[in-house]
Copies of this chain bind each other. A is one copy, B any other.
Amino acid sequence: MAIFQKLATGPMAVHELAGTLPVSRPAVSQHLRVLKDAGLVSDSKRGTRRVYRVNPAGIALLRAHFDRFWAQALNAFEVSVEPHTTDTKREKYVTDRRRSSRK
């Protein structure tokens, strides 16, 4: 996130990015890789440097995803406001016992 924020101030090379952050350059590289895989940033070679910039298309996609999320959440609240006889009966005795195992 912090890396992404920095990139949002303009395209930067890896070592510049690392210079402004409290982590090593390889750490930054690793983060950039996942951001790139997620389509949120793009890169281009520039001499020995590799310049990264935010990718508007990826951002738009993620944003859309979130927007649907908010809509769903708020809509759910709307519905729940209607009186809606929540008549949940007591059920027949189940204590903490788990049903799915997880080694």
Chain A residues in contact with chain B, CB under 8 A?
A: 4-5, 7-11, 13, 15-16, 22, 24-26, 53-54, 56, 59, 63, 66, 70, 72-74, 76-77, 79-80, 86, 88, 94, 96, 98, 100, 102
The contact of A77 among B53, B74, B86, by CB within 8 Å, is: B53
A contact face: mostly helix, strand, loop, or mixed: helix
Q: Which residue of B lies closest to A56 (CB)?
A: B77
Q: Offer 23 A-B interface pairs, CB within 8 angstroms, sorted by A.
A: A4-B73, A8-B72, A8-B73, A9-B76, A10-B76, A10-B79, A10-B80, A15-B94, A22-B100, A24-B96, A24-B98, A26-B96, A53-B77, A53-B80, A54-B74, A54-B76, A54-B77, A56-B74, A56-B77, A59-B70, A59-B74, A63-B66, A66-B66
